[in-house]
Amino acid sequence: MDISAKIFIAGRNGMVGSSLEREFRKRGYENIIGLSSKELDLKNQSAVEEFFSGEKPEYVVLAAARVGGIMANIESPAEFLYENLAIQNNVIHYSYRYGVKKLLFLASSCIYPRLCPQPMKEEYLLNGKLEPTNEGYAIAKIAGLKMCQMYNKQYDTDFISVMPCNVYGIGDNFDPQKSHVVAGLIRKFHQAKQENKEFVEVWGTGNARRELMFSEDLADACIFLFESYSGNEFFNVGTGSDISIKELAYLIKKVVGFDGNIKFDTTKPDGMPQKLLDVSALKKAGWVYKTDLEEGIRKTYEWFLKLS
């Protein structure tokens, strides 16, 4: 890939998009474009076509998505389905129409069946029923990865997909109701510390297990594949190990420095019991993660402190 190539990061201002931009720039790529969702609504077909015809990007990374934690997904399944389908339909289709040389689509580990054997191999896709708490999002992401594969087959494009585990990091959404678990708990423990609260409420039983990766590592893996892989396989991206929500809550409590207790609110859902990816294909291709969970949480908390 030419260092001066024009790269469109769809979702440039989000957590993953901004990590991607930093990682591309570290490698010397400078011609990076992308607009905020206010400037360009990726759900709007004609606006997306106009953007592609005007800018003619050579490479596209599709990191734009409607994302949210377990409660946001439960509350707005139609929005998660519709908005993600619309964004990816437009960006993938016009990437094809305007001759984009390569596209990388970011999907998610929630595409795998709820009771999938662990760790989840790429070949287990569509082997069983999905987890109901994020079915809308998962259906959209499955459609996106199939779209990449089918466009490659029919139109000879070079569109690849990755399935990351749960991601957290700088630029995360810290909304206590809508965020994912790491950002949500950072905010809850921080507030409890400031207000000298006796305890923090953690959703679910604490027994659900999640594989968590720092967004900078995800960006690094995406660029690694972008530069080195073409074909119709998709890749799981993760650390290869997981942690229970209970252990995670104690780790975040320690990083934040909260002295009180933890209570588990079992009226809230656990979601998928376990979501551990088999990352052997990516490892074999030559990539492994760098940031250990505690270090990643520390960096995220430092960033959160600068914000507040």
Q: Would you please indicate which residues are annotated as catalytic (active-site) residues?
A: 137
Q: How far is the CB of 192 from ligand GDP (least distance, A)?
A: 12
Tell the smallest beta-carbon distance from residue 177 to ligand GDP (Å).
8
Report the nearest approach of ligand GDP to the CB of residue 222 (Å).
20
Residue 199 phi, psi dihedral angles, 5° rounding:
-150, 165
Shortest reach from residue 53's CB to ligand GDP, in Å: 37
Cα–Cα distance, 279 to 122 (Å, whole number): 9
Secondary structure E strands in the chain: 7-10, 32-33, 59-62, 102-106, 159-164, 166-168, 199-203, 209-210, 212-214, 235-237, 243-244, 261-265, 274-275
> Counting contacts by CB under 6 A, is residue 246 touching ligand GDP?
no
Q: Which stretch binds ligand GDP (CB under 6 A): 36-44, 75-83, 177-185, 289-297?
A: 177-185
Q: Which stretch binds ligand GDP (CB under 6 A): 36-44, 82-90, 198-206, 229-237?
A: 198-206
C-beta of 43 vs 180, nearer to ligand GDP:
180
Contact stretch for ligand GDP (CB under 6 A) within 40-48, 178-186, 236-244, 278-286: 178-186
Is residue 92 part of the contact set for ligand GDP (CB under 6 A)?
no
Q: From residue 279, how far is each of 120, 163, 286 by CA, in Å? A: 9, 10, 11
Q: Residue length, the chain?
A: 308
* 141-149, 176-184, 191-199, 283-291 -> range binding ligand GDP (CB under 6 A): 176-184
Residues 153-159: contacts with CB under 8 Å, at least 24 apart? 153/232, 155/96, 157/95, 157/96, 157/100, 157/103, 158/101, 158/102, 158/103, 158/230, 159/92, 159/95, 159/96, 159/102, 159/103, 159/104, 159/105
Q: Which class for 181: exposed (0-12), middle (13-18), buried (19 or more C-beta within 10 A)?
A: buried
| Size of site (CB under 6 A) for ligand GDP | 21
**Which residue in 135, 211, 242, 270 binds ligand GDP (CB under 6 A)?**
270
Inter-CA distances, 245 with 3, 125, 209, 274, Å = 41, 25, 6, 10
**Minimum CB–partner distance for residue 251 and ligand GDP (Å):** 13
* Stretch touching ligand GDP by CB under 6 A, among 191-199, 233-241, 266-274, 282-290: 266-274
**Which of 16, 202, 218, 255: binder of ligand GDP (CB under 6 A)?**
202
Measuring CA to CA, which residue among 200, 195, 295 is closest to residue 239?
A: 295
Is residue 106 a contact point for ligand GDP (CB under 6 A)?
no
166 interacts with ligand GDP by CB under 6 A: yes
Name which position in 18, 90, 157, 179 contacts ligand GDP (CB under 6 A): 179
Q: Which amino acid is at 294?
A: E
Count of alpha carbons within 13 Å of 252, Cβ hemisphere only?
30
Q: Does 162 bind ligand GDP (CB under 6 A)?
A: no
Residue numbers at the binding site for ligand GDP (CB under 6 A): 69-70, 110, 134, 166, 179-181, 184-185, 188, 202-204, 208, 210, 245, 268-271
